[in-house]
């Protein structure tokens, strides 16, 4: 009788665990675990290419489909910047975008990453809209989930840009959190994007909220699908504010995973399916 009892308990526990996993799976909208060595998945990512400064006087030439600058290796995506004398501005790097392959209106976007270090590095995990509905940047909006500039080590920024709030006017809205071991350990960088507000997190710690005040798209152009961007810039108006150290290259941003959920999984009720 006792054996039958424990068997029933085991079956119930197994069903409960399966149900919770299944519930998490239905919550997950899109992900890349970077488990296939080689170039990043062309099903999920495209490359932006060029060396035109990207509006910030950056120095890198973004290349496409080069293992030197972007590759999956050992379960991690490596986005790598190199000094390259053959380039007019002296550097190469990579910029991956999910545009046309993954975009979302609201959700919990989480990226686990290890950042580069040194003066002149400028890694970013951020989002832009799939379509220009309000007349281009900054009117269409920008969500910066993570930015870090190497001359200010450990201070990680989460920022929102709109027509009313942007760095051209010095009115951008954002928060910062000190991450002392940003380059030696992986950390999770996330935004919980809802219709009412955005909440920014590092390792599950909340550090900034941007609210929808109901004043229209000049302040909140975020009721539309946005895609994800992973890049490592060199120099630029912000990243190169205190120059670029020529002796630190190559530098890399390592990305363990990208996951997009319907809602923050830590806040999702863990109940059995059908309850």
What residues act catalytically?
142, 147
Strand-pairing partners, residue 97, are: 46, 229
* Residue 183 DSSP SS3: coil
Contact assessment for residue 122 and residue 147, using Cβ atoms and an 8 Å cutoff: yes
- For residue 249, give the DSSP letter: -
Question: Where do the DSSP E strands lie in the chain?
Answer: 28-32, 46-47, 60-62, 70-73, 76-83, 91-93, 95-97, 103-104, 107-114, 121-129, 142-147, 155-161, 173-178, 187-193, 197-202, 205-211, 226-234, 251-261
Question: Would you state the structure tokens that stand for residue 264, as one six-digit string?
Answer: 């923050």
Is the alpha carbon torsion for 197, 203, 206, 210 positive or negative? negative
Contact assessment for residue 165 and residue 219, using Cβ atoms and an 8 Å cutoff: yes
Contact assessment for residue 221 and residue 140, using Cβ atoms and an 8 Å cutoff: yes
Q: How far apart are CA 241 and CA 99, in angstroms?
A: 29
């Amino acid at each position: 009788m006792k054996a039958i009892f424990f068997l029933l308990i085991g079956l119930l526990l197994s069903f409960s665990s399966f149900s919770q996993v299944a519930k998490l799976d239905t919550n997950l909208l899109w992900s890349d675990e970077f488990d296939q060595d080689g170039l990043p998945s062309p099903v999920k990512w495209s490359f932006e290419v060029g060396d035109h400064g990207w509006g910030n006087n950056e120095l890198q030439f973004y290349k496409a489909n080069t293992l030197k600058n972007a590759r999956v290796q050992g379960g991690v995506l490596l986005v790598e910047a190199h000094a390259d004398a053959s380039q007019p501005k002296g550097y190469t790097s990579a910029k991956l975008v999910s545009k046309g392959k993954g975009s979302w209106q609201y959700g919990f976007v989480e990226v686990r990453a290890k950042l580069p270090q040194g003066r002149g590095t400028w890694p970013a995990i951020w989002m832009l809209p799939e379509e220009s509905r309000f007349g281009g940047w900054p009117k269409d909006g920008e969500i910066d989930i993570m930015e870090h500039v190497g001359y200010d080590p450990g201070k990680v920024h989460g920022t929102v840009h709109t027509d009313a709030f942007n760095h051209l006017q010095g009115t951008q809205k954002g928060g910062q959190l000190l991450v002392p071991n940003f380059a030696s350990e992986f950390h999770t960088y996330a935004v919980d994007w809802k219709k009412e507000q955005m909440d920014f997190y590092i390792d599950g710690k909340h550090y900034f909220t941007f609210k929808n005040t109901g004043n229209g798209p000049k302040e909140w152009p975020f009721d539309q699908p946005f895609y994800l961007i992973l890049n490592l810039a060199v120099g630029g108006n912000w990243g190169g504010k205190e120059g670029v150290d020529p002796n630190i290259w190559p530098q890399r941003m390592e990305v363990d995973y990208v996951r997009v959920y319907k809602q923050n999984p830590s806040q999702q009720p863990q109940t059995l399916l059908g309850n």
